[in-house]
Structure 1
Amino acid sequence: MLAVLPALLLLLLLGSRSACGVFQKLYCSFSDSCECDFKPGIRDLEWDLYKNVFGQHLAQNLVAEEVSRFLLNKSPDRPLVLSFHGSSGTGKTLVSTMLGNHLYGSAMSSPFVHQFVPTLHFPSAERVPQYQVSLSEPRLQNRHQNRSGFLNTTLLVLKLCCSGWQEELKSWVKGNLTACARSVFIFDEMEKMPAGLIDVLEPFLGPSHVVFRTNYRKAIYVFISTAGQEAIHRLVLENRLAGRDRDEIKPSDLQDVVQQSVYSNKTSGLYLSSIVQQNLITRFVPFLPLTRTHVERCVRAQLCQRGSCNRDDVVEAVGGDMTYDPAEGHYFSTTGCKAVAAKISFFL
């Protein structure tokens, strides 16, 4: 390191951009102070949540508050772990994408935002013991690195799926944390995650584990699941039948209900999870079922993106063509806003 400093300093004085990049990489490899391409825009995130997420006052407030609180803490004692729960089409994936956009400006295209899909990465439930071994033996420090020096996700996925090198997965997480302490990990479709598998990440989520050359406590983890949707749906329906406005539902009304439902659900990736037992999840974030009004707001927003804001006929047609339950009241869309884009194309 010391041997190359004179040359780097000379190049820096001459204004070489490439030298700046090389110097930054060298510095980051010896320091946990680097923030990668981290460009958090909390106010922009809050506005995006308010403007483009419909019917989710709890998720809007909880995500904005927890992310803001976490980022204001320059030395957090543990990572931020958010667990999103709710039925299909209610905005869970949308909010996770917004999070990536307003932390790195490019969401899933950023080398520091990583998405995991169980059916792709962990396809065989019966191989959980093998996966757990693989998630505890780090061996990727100098392997599968791309030109930017960051672990190549595509190569890893190919090796996991095609070569059976599942033992390198936890090492992949550790390697990305070493490359960037501010890494964001999104675990999608947690209801399809083999129960017990996610617990091997427990050392990364608590305050005691140390990852070489990085402050892993600055990372953000997001779990996305439909587990717990029945409990959420039941409470929202009871609230409506009692004549109360859905905006009166408070986080405390659902926090323990969702946590217990997810923990005791055998089809949940968090079933009997030590991560839940040890209270390592910062917040369980409930996403409420959407009414026809919310669906039509989704339709209107997507029409505006296509330059057809004034097509009230399409808004009405799509809203009326969706399926709602329960049968007695038809209050909530069974697919949320998920089918909106396809139906707009049909009616437009």
Structure 2
Amino acid sequence: MTLLRNLCCGLYLLTFSLHWAEGLIDPVSLSVAAGLGLSAWYGSFLKDQTFCRLTECCNERSIPADIEKLRRKLGSKLFGQHIVMQQLLSALKAHLSPNSSSRKPLVISFHGTPGTGKNYVADMVAEALYEKGVKSRFVHKYMGRLEFSLDKDVQKYNNRIFHDVISGINDCPISLFIFDEVDKMPQGVFESLTSLVDYNGLPNKMDGSKAIFIFISNTAGVQISDQLAKMLKNGFMREDVKLSAFEQILEKASYNLEGGLKKAGLIEQHVIDHYIPFLPLEKHHVHKCIEAEFDKWDRKPQQKVILSMLQDVITYEREHGLFATSGCKTIEKKVATEVWIN
């Protein structure tokens, strides 16, 4: 650490000297500007140009927040999820806008059956917002089944979440917290979080209004499938289905079904901004997933190969016979195996 500080100090001085030598800073202008606080600004500038080139900082370089990049990725890699595309992009763009007047973090809850893209999208959000993606120190991801599994330890989990959120936002106000497998967590695990994500809820006047929280759950997956099937049978086109057809279903299911959000203050206090359904996938969506996976390997398989794989990987839920039970969940490994065999 001492070596890093010395290196950074040396780079500070070198950068300053170069600017001075190039005539970018003259004594008179520096003297005048000093009274206006140039020293503080220049210190920040030097940090951005030296220290923050060597390590991750809470600045625009490390957090480009590239919503257009996310739009492109979702458009080319996510299939059958027009509601996700519409709602997620709009929510993030509004939240991260310099003109936003929001006084609370953005809180989003993803719901759907396995293989519909919930984790995939959460990781894409991290990759678009942060230069280091999911490896950024400003991205905090938790696995419910592994890290928050025991009913008897709920209070310990609450304390950990409270501490992690305070520490994370103190490190960088634009932090991302992802809680996966929420349906596998015990009831009450998020009670300490409720006040933190409410309006002006952080202690010591900390500003967490730019933080983002994403909850990922299989909860209400069956209800989403039932609602979509009903609408399709009533003549709706899938692409015309709106978020409004699912929001109340998701909120009620989250509050009443077993899992980390059951009877949760997050729902009672209405601090979850968006409940986003991931619709169950149909055969042609899985077909696109297979093609996209082959593209990663720079392969263009014959249609008979894809159709053969579809027969192997797709099973349909019994209730409606419309939707692939595992979505695209197993496609990556199946395609990789096919590539190496051939």
Q: Of the candidates 53, 60, 69, which is equivalent to residue 44 of structure 1?
A: 69
Question: Offset at 1:337?
Answer: 0.2
Kindly tell me the number of residue pairs found equivalent between the two proteins: 302
CA distance in structure 1 between the aligned counterparts of 2:49 and 2:206, rounded to whole angstroms: 18
SS in 1 for 2:246: helix
Q: Does 1:66 align with 2:91?
A: yes
Q: Does 1:325 align with 2:316?
A: yes
Any unmatched runs of 5+ in structure 2?
Answer: 1-8, 20-42, 53-57
CA contact (8 A) 2:12 2:46 kept: no
What does residue 155 of structure 1 align with? none
Structure with higher Rg: it is 2
CA contact (8 A) 2:94 2:100 kept: no
Letter in 2 for 1:287: F
Question: Offset at 1:338?
Answer: 0.3
Question: Offset at 1:309?
Answer: 2.1
What does residue 102 of structure 2 align with? 76
SS in 2 for 1:82: strand
CA contact (8 A) 1:97 1:108 kept: yes
Question: Offset at 1:189?
Answer: 0.5
CA contact (8 A) 1:12 1:19 kept: no
Question: Offset at 1:311?
Answer: 3.1
What does residue 124 of structure 1 align with? 150
Q: Does 1:14 align with 2:25?
A: no
| CA 1:10–1:297: 2 relative to 1, 3 Å | same
CA distance in structure 2 between the aligned counterparts of 1:202 and 1:272, rounded to whole angstroms: 12
Question: Offset at 1:305?
Answer: 0.8
SS in 2 for 1:81: strand
What does residue 5 of structure 2 align with? none
CA distance in structure 2 between the aligned counterparts of 1:18 and 1:129, rounded to whole angstroms: 40
SS in 1 for 2:235: coil
What are the residue-to-residue correspondences of 1:81-230 with 2, within 5 Å?
A: 81-132=107-158, 134-135=159-160, 169-212=161-204, 214-230=206-222
CA distance in structure 2 between the aligned counterparts of 1:255 and 1:15, rounded to whole angstroms: 58
CA distance in structure 2 between the aligned counterparts of 1:66 and 1:313, rounded to whole angstroms: 41
Give CA deviations for 1:86-111 in whole Å, capped at 9, x if unaligned.
00010001111110111013321111
Q: Greater shift after overlay, 38-47 or 305-314?
A: 305-314
Any unmatched runs of 5+ in structure 1?
Answer: 1-5, 27-32, 136-168
CA distance in structure 1 between the aligned counterparts of 2:268 and 2:44, rounded to whole angstroms: 48
CA contact (8 A) 1:81 1:220 kept: yes
CA contact (8 A) 1:317 1:347 kept: no
Give CA deviations for 1:251-298 in whole Å, capped at 9, x if unaligned.
101011111111111x22110111011110110000000001000100
Taking structure 2 as the reference length, the TM-score comes to 0.81
What are the residue-to-residue correspondences of 1:15-30 with 2, within 5 Å?
A: 20-21=46-47
CA distance in structure 1 between the aligned counterparts of 2:18 and 2:89, rounded to whole angstroms: 39
CA distance in structure 1 between the aligned counterparts of 2:105 and 2:77, rounded to whole angstroms: 27
CA contact (8 A) 2:186 2:260 kept: yes
CA contact (8 A) 1:314 1:344 kept: no
CA contact (8 A) 2:81 2:279 kept: yes
CA contact (8 A) 2:11 2:50 kept: no
Letter in 1 for 2:69: D
SS in 2 for 1:324: coil
CA distance in structure 2 between the aligned counterparts of 1:116 and 1:128, rounded to whole angstroms: 15
Question: Offset at 1:238?
Answer: 0.9
| CA 1:247–1:212: 2 relative to 1, 3 Å | same
CA contact (8 A) 1:181 1:218 kept: yes
SS in 1 for 2:108: strand
CA distance in structure 1 between the aligned counterparts of 2:13 and 2:157, rounded to whole angstroms: 48
SS in 2 for 1:115: strand
CA distance in structure 2 between the aligned counterparts of 1:329 and 1:200, rounded to whole angstroms: 40
Give CA deviations for 1:168-216 in whole Å, capped at 9, x if unaligned.
x421221111110000000000001111111211122111223447421
Q: Greater shift after overlay, 290-299 or 202-211?
A: 202-211
Taking structure 1 as the reference length, the TM-score comes to 0.79
CA contact (8 A) 1:11 1:19 kept: no
CA contact (8 A) 1:188 1:223 kept: yes
